[in-house]
């Protein structure tokens, strides 16, 4: 009976020692984290570009050409960011595959640094991506538009501006063709006189000029 109390309790086996994380493993992990974050940002930017195109088209319909141009310039910046992010992601993917069989090099650390800088840049852009504000006329919206213009002036190239203007011209042409088709579909007896159409066009042009003068004031 006394043996029950004097018997030593069975010892549990000691847990195996944790494997040390090598510098290579850590570098691979960090690269994969950056790759996955870049993927998420690219998906988000893709959706944003689609919305910016829609907003620009709506602004063209509303005869707010300057705002539409601002949206398209912003869209062009996001498209450029997507292209750069995809290139960085491809580079990271290549390094992830090669680092499994090679020593860590300065190239890996450079890629990690570039990836961090890219993510920081994208995060900074996402803070001011409420594109729907560009359709409003409130004081807050005007301040936002000025913020966007200032941000773009330091990041857009002449080629980017030209691309945005070409897209604006294309959207205007498409909308004009749509209106012309709608007019052609109206029975002749119901169509407004040509003089009426000219008067409407002149009024729209005058309003656009007035809007530009207000924005430049």
- In sequence order, what DSSP letters do the residues of 141-196 get, joined into one string? HHHHHHHHHHHHHTT--HHHHHHHHHHHHHHHHHHHHHHHHHHHHS-GGGSPPHHH
Q: Which pLDDT belongs to residue 114?
A: 65
201-202-207 Cα angle (round to 5): 95
Q: Which pLDDT belongs to residue 21?
A: 67
Average pLDDT for residues 146-154, to the nearest whole number? 79
Q: Is residue 96's pLDDT more than 50?
A: yes
Who has greater pLDDT, 52 or 213? 52
Share of the chain above pLDDT 70, in %: 57
Looking at residue 22, the DSSP 8-state letter turns out to be: P
Q: Of 22-26, 84-88, 151-155, 206-210, give the range with the top mean pLDDT.
A: 84-88
Q: Is residue 36's pLDDT more than 80?
A: yes
Q: Is residue 102's pLDDT more than 80?
A: no
Average pLDDT for residues 165-184, to the nearest whole number? 83
Cα→Cα distances 110→33, 93, 104, 212, Å: 15, 14, 11, 46
Q: Which pLDDT belongs to residue 214?
A: 58
Residue 151 and residue 187: Cα distance in Å, rounded? 49
Q: Which pLDDT belongs to residue 63?
A: 87
Average pLDDT for residues 141-166, to the nearest whole number? 81
């Amino acid at each position: 009976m006394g043996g029950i109390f004097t018997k030593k309790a069975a010892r549990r086996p000691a847990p195996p020692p944790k494997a040390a994380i090598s510098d290579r493993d850590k570098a691979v992990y960090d690269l994969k984290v950056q790759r996955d974050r870049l993927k998420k940002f690219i998906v988000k930017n893709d959706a944003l570009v689609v919305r910016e195109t829609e907003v620009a088209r709506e602004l063209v319909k509303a005869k707010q050409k300057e705002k539409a141009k601002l949206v398209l310039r912003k869209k062009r910046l996001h498209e450029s960011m997507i292209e750069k992010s995809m290139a960085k992601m491809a580079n990271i993917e290549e390094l992830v595959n090669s680092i499994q069989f090679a020593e860590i090099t300065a190239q890996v650390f450079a890629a990690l640094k570039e990836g961090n800088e890219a993510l920081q840049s994208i995060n900074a852009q996402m803070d001011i991506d409420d594109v729907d504000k560009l359709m409003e006329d409130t004081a807050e919206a005007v301040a936002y538009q000025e913020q966007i213009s200032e941000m773009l002036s330091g990041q857009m190239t002449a080629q980017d501006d030209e691309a945005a203007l070409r897209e604006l011209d294309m959207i205007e042409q498409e909308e004009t063709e749509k209106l012309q088709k709608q007019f052609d579909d109206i029975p002749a007896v119901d169509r407004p006189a040509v003089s009426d159409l000219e008067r409407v066009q002149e009024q729209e042009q005058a309003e656009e000029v007035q809007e530009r003068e207000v924005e430049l004031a």
